[in-house]
Chain A
Amino acid sequence: MNPDFLPSARPISRLIEELNKLPGVGPKSAQRLAYHLLQSPPEKSRDLAEAIISLKQNLRLCSVCLNITDSDPCGICSDGTRDITRICVVEEPIDILPLERTKKFHGLYHVLHGVISPGDGIKPEDLHIRELLDRLTSNSIIEVILATNPNAEGEATSMYIQRLVSPLGIRVTRLARGLPFGGDLEYADDVTLSRALEGRQEMY
């Protein structure tokens, strides 16, 4: 056991240790959270505990888009109002949230659960690319939007998928790469600026 946690009683030191494993929670924050829970009413900590347990028990991957869901197919895949001819490919389930927040995309998603990373030994079979290709043959998809992150691995993954999807006669697009809103030209890197220039658009 970590000596930092020793002075507290056993149940509380155990909680502190567990909280400390969470991202962004250091030993001090873990202590504060644990003592806060200790002082709050019992139903509050029970709610929290139940929420944590149901997270693992009731969640699974959507059999269509592989997003994390509690119902299969997931809310997006079973929503009849969505455009079923477009699929947006993302790296992780969490990437869907910002895209949904824009309210600009009404199609479906496909979650790869990772990117090709040769240096780390992550190969296409480790991702859900096969499932994407299966969806493309069985449905009337007209466009695949590649929304992997604009970095070396994300680009490589997109190029790889593009190579597999294009021969099927489906339009493959890539999210535009350019200057971030609220950014600054002075600090823009050369790749971003080159791409921003290449993808410049006429003003109306």
Chain B
Amino acid sequence: MSARVYRTTGIIIKRHKFGEADRLLTIFTADCGKVRAIAKGAMRPGSKLGGNVELLTHSQLMLARGRNLDIVTQAQTLDTFLSIRDSLELMSCGFYLAELVDNFTEENVEDRDLFELLLATLRILSETGEGERIVRYFELRLLGHLGYSPQLQKCANCNRMLQPEANYYSPAQGGTLCRECGYPYMAASTISVNAQKVLRLWQRSDIAIAGRVKLSAVLAREIKSILRDNIRYVLEKQLKSIEWMDRLAGDSNLNGNKTASHNNDSGPL
């Protein structure tokens, strides 16, 4: 860590204009966690950094330690996730994932597992073109990874095994509540049997399976709202890109474009 120049791979999760033609990047790296660095001249056409440090690019990076901010000296793209960039829906999922990771991580704290999860998620998004379900899976795994894994097997209050019936869910209580415990608890929302099944499955399966789970539109909405409430509870704020994602889903329907194919799937669950 003390070397002046270090090499790592990372995904650009945020970038801002900095001075004339520089960019201030927030990079989620494999080896050093979240790092902020300057990419000099990255906004000029013909810059050798330019596209290699674009948002949501996975790049091999050489960084020089600076007093406050590190400086990107070399960058080589490993994966651009091209098909994400061609779709407004997928790109919006990407914006959201980047904002999630930025909000849930501290600078310079290594987190290889989260890096691998983000990388795998972007790959699957790009390969399958499936947005919503993958993002939900990511939210659940992110919560779990950070120690906020919701309790889905037993009642978070009385610790009894949950019955296969509609129960209650409360982020403040740490997950699912049985009928007796949840009923008097005003802040708890209901959670259907199918939503519990899907979340349990996601909790123990890998990402490739997550994308194959078919969800009806109603179930997808339910899971979305449960996980979103949970994330808002943990972060104590609403993420900015959420409004855009909702708006986009609404606009697409207006225009007759399908947001995601799963809206029409009536799956087995």
Chain A interface (Cβ within 8 Å of chain B)?
23-24, 116, 118-121, 123-124, 151-153, 155-156, 159-160, 163-164, 167, 180, 182-184, 187-192, 194
Contact = CB atoms under 8 A, between A and B. Distances in A.
B85 A163 contact: no
Contact of A118 (B45, B77, B240): B240
25 contacts: A24-B19, A118-B95, A118-B240, A119-B240, A124-B247, A152-B54, A152-B56, A156-B92, A156-B95, A159-B91, A160-B88, A163-B255, A167-B255, A182-B46, A184-B46, A187-B46, A187-B48, A188-B51, A189-B50, A190-B80, A190-B82, A191-B51, A191-B54, A191-B77, A194-B82
B51 A189 contact: yes
Contacts of A116: 244
A163 B91 contact: no
Contacts of B87: 159
Contacts of A152: 54-56, 85, 91, 94-95
A118 B77 CA distance: 24
Given A187-B48, A188-B51, A191-B51, A119 B255 contact: no
- The secondary structure that dominates the B interface is helix
A23 B240 contact: no
Contacts of B99: 118-119
The 9 closest A-B pairs by CB, nearest first: A189-B51, A118-B241, A187-B48, A118-B244, A152-B55, A121-B240, A180-B45, A159-B88, A180-B46
B46 A123 contact: no
A23 B19 contact: yes
B98 A23 contact: no
Nearest to B252: A163
Of A23, A124, A160, most B-chain CB atoms within 10 Å: A160
A187 B47 CA distance: 8
Question: Among B51, B54, B243, which residue has the most Cβ atoms of chain A within 10 A?
Answer: B51
Contacts of B252: 163
A188 B77 CA distance: 10
Nearest to B78: A190
B34 interface: no
B251 interface: yes
Nearest to A179: B46
A182 B52 CA distance: 18
